Amino acid sequence: MYLYLIRHGIAIDRDALSIDEFRPLTKLGRKKVAQVADKLVGLDLKFDLIVTSPLVRARQTADILIDKQLSHNLEVSTDLAPGGNIQSWIADWDQRSTVDPISTLALVGHEPDLSEWAELFIFGKVYHQLILKKGGIIGLKFPAPAEHQSPQIEIGKAQLHCLIPPKYLM
């Protein structure tokens, strides 16, 4: 199973809008996310499902990925909001994955959560040593499940196959 962690694009400043949840992407932010999406389309990447944080800048980033047809399925999870509970998300996911197998999943969210989760998935602990830029992507590969088992997202089991700043995707 492949899990991609995608950070939202550049949003308007915190000073410009008092409610953080509502800050939209800037024009440049939308453009860069669209360029990243085009690159991924060119590489034949497809997500069985995109799950996004409910915050506007993440929703808008996910919407661009959907517009570019990187996936046909979009869901929103409050567990992906800043400071969200990834353990709660994994528990829900494991229950669901037994009935709804997914082999390529993308989560759209925020820093420092995404890079912390990546370290947790890979190493089983958080080092704060991964740098994930806005519009950047982390790609994780989980081991193939045993026969008749569903693919699982497990702490400390993933391999890191890519960590790509957006400038390399344009």
Residues making contact with its own copies (CB under 8 A)? 39, 43, 122-123, 127, 129-131, 141, 158-165, 167-169
Closer residue to its own copies, CB minimum distance, 82 or 165: 165
- Minimal distance, residue 94 CB to its own copies, in Å: 21
Cβ atoms of 63 and 115 within 8 Å: the answer is no
- Minimal distance, residue 158 CB to its own copies, in Å: 7
Q: Write the DSSP symbol of residue 168.
A: G
- Minimal distance, residue 13 CB to its own copies, in Å: 24
- Minimal distance, residue 148 CB to its own copies, in Å: 26
Token output for 132: 């994930």
**Regarding beta strands 74-76 and 49-52, do their DSSP bridges make them parallel or antiparallel, or are they unpaired?**
parallel
25 pairs with which residues across the strands? Answer: 11
Half-sphere exposure (Cβ direction) of 99: Cα atoms closer than 13 Å: 4
Looking at the chain, how many residues does it have?
Answer: 170
Residues 6 or more apart in contact with residue 1 via CB below 8 angstroms: 102, 103, 104, 105, 141, 142, 144, 145, 151, 152, 153
Closer residue to its own copies, CB minimum distance, 128 or 148: 128
* Residue 28 neighbours by CB distance under 10 Å: 10
Closer residue to its own copies, CB minimum distance, 60 or 142: 142
- Minimal distance, residue 164 CB to its own copies, in Å: 6
Closer residue to its own copies, CB minimum distance, 74 or 123: 123
Closer residue to its own copies, CB minimum distance, 15 or 44: 44
Cβ atoms of 63 and 24 within 8 Å: the answer is no
